């Protein structure tokens, strides 16, 4: 965007910032568009958060996706934003061309080391009448299926949560024309509650980790979670509970809400013995 237009847009915000009607300004841009002088320009005009379209830190994936920049450029951009005293957000995408899943996990690990202030994770969807759609029809690209995308994103989410890096969004925001028959989405892991699927998948892992390896016969099992985590425990269409009950066989299962528990934590009580699966 021309500097003159940036100046004009940011000028509109200044009276609101001065009167306290607006707390801060957030922008999104490409990693190869954040020079030191550009960041100084933004900071002087009230911008305090810069989100970078990182997508991947794998050069091979970036080339195949024709992003026009390298992983090194993205790494330097994150450092440059933070050195300028601004919040740095990183937007990443799973399912890009040439990404086997390994590259996405490596990107997450590298981002943990780079310490952005927050992350967004998006699944790649193939839209109609695009180059990627043509490549898919030729057999040159295969999108992730929903189950694979959810599992991969749960692995990435776990890495970020263990590093205390907030993941503020998982999945695309639903927009007109994206879902349903005749939509613009041709293929890929599209789901209106994709983020919930990922978070509940990770929560199920914590529940299973809290269960002891051997359960006493005819034992009663109580799972205790924070009230806001109940939907994660249940899972989409009660799938998590169904899987837990299948593991417990005919043992009695009871669910309890405990506002004193930390979010992302599950306690498992079995005949007076307590086990824990800890998240954040």
Residue 20 lies in a domain: no
Tell me: do 138 and 55 sit in the same domain: yes
Residue 10 lies in a domain: no
In angstroms, what CA-CA distances link 275 with 212, 243, 267? 7, 19, 6
Residue 43 lies in a domain: yes
DSSP structure string for 239-259? HHHHHHHHHHTTSEEEEEE-T
Residue 207 lies in a domain: no
Residue 12 lies in a domain: no
- Give 212 or 192, the one with higher predicted confidence: 192
* Sign of the Cα pseudo-torsion (105, 28, 197, 232, in order): positive
pLDDT in tens, 141-185: 999 999 999 999 999 999 999 999 999 999 987 765 565 555 689
Tell me: do 112 and 234 sit in the same domain: no
Tell me: do 124 and 187 sit in the same domain: yes
Query: Which residue(s) pair with 92 in the sheet?
Result: 55, 121
Mean pLDDT of 256-272: 91
Tell me: do 218 and 158 sit in the same domain: no
Name the pLDDT band for 279 (thresholds 50, 70, 90): very low
Tell me: do 60 and 172 sit in the same domain: yes
Tell me: do 39 and 131 sit in the same domain: yes
Q: pTM above 0.85?
A: yes
Res. 278: pLDDT tops 90: no
Number of domains in the chain: 2
Residue 245 lies in a domain: yes
Give the CATH number for residue 245.
3.40.30.60
Torsion of CA 21, 36, 96, 118, to 10 degrees: -40
pLDDT in tens, 48-84: 999 999 999 999 999 999 999 999 999 999 999 999 9
Residue 205 lies in a domain: no
Tell me: do 181 and 226 sit in the same domain: no
Give the pairing type, strands 185-187 and 220-225: unpaired
Q: 268 lies in which domain range?
A: 212-277
Res. 242: pLDDT tops 70: yes
Tell me: do 186 and 227 sit in the same domain: no
Q: Rounded to the nearest 5 degrees, what angle is found at the Cα of 61, between the Cα atoms of 200 and 82?
A: 75
DSSP structure string for 59-81? HHHHHHTT-SS-HHHHHHHHHHH
Give the CATH number for residue 100.
3.20.20.70
Last residue of a domain, one of 139, 161, 192: 192
Residue 263 lies in a domain: yes
Tell me: do 183 and 83 sit in the same domain: yes
Tell me: do 154 and 235 sit in the same domain: no
Tell me: do 63 and 130 sit in the same domain: yes
Cα separation, 265 vs 225, whole angstroms: 6
pLDDT in tens, 184-211: 899 999 999 999 999 999 999 999 988 8
Cα separation, 129 vs 87, whole angstroms: 36
Tell me: do 77 and 154 sit in the same domain: yes
Cα separation, 37 vs 33, whole angstroms: 10
């Amino acid at each position: 965007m021309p500097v003159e237009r940036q100046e004009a847009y940011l000028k509109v915000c200044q009276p609101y910032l001065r009167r306290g009607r607006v707390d801060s300004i957030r922008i999104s841009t490409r990693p190869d568009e954040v020079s030191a002088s550009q960041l100084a320009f933004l900071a002087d005009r009230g911008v305090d958060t810069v989100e970078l379209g990182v997508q991947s830190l794998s050069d091979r994936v970036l080339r195949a996706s024709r992003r026009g920049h390298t992983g090194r450029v993205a790494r330097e951009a994150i450092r440059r934003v933070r050195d300028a005293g601004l919040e740095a957000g990183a937007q990443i995408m799973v399912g890009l061309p040439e990404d086997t899943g390994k590259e996405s996990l490596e990107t997450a690990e590298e981002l943990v080391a780079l310490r952005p202030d927050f992350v967004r994770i998006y699944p790649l969807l193939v839209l109609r009448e695009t180059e990627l759609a043509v490549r898919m029809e030729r057999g040159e690209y295969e999108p992730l299926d929903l189950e694979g995308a959810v599992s991969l994103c749960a692995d990435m989410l776990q890495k970020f949560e263990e590093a205390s890096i907030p993941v503020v969004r998982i999945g695309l925001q639903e927009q007109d024309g994206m879902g349903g028959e005749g939509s613009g989405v041709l293929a890929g892991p599209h789901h209106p509650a994709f983020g919930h699927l990922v978070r509940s998948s990770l929560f199920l892992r914590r529940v299973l980790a809290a269960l002891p390896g051997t359960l006493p016969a005819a034992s009663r099992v109580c799972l205790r979670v924070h009230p806001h985590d109940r939907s994660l425990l249940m899972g989409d269409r009660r799938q998590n509970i169904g899987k837990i009950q299948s593991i417990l066989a005919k043992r009695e299962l009871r669910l309890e809400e405990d506002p004193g528990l930390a979010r992302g934590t599950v306690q498992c009580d079995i005949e007076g013995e307590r086990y824990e699966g800890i998240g954040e």
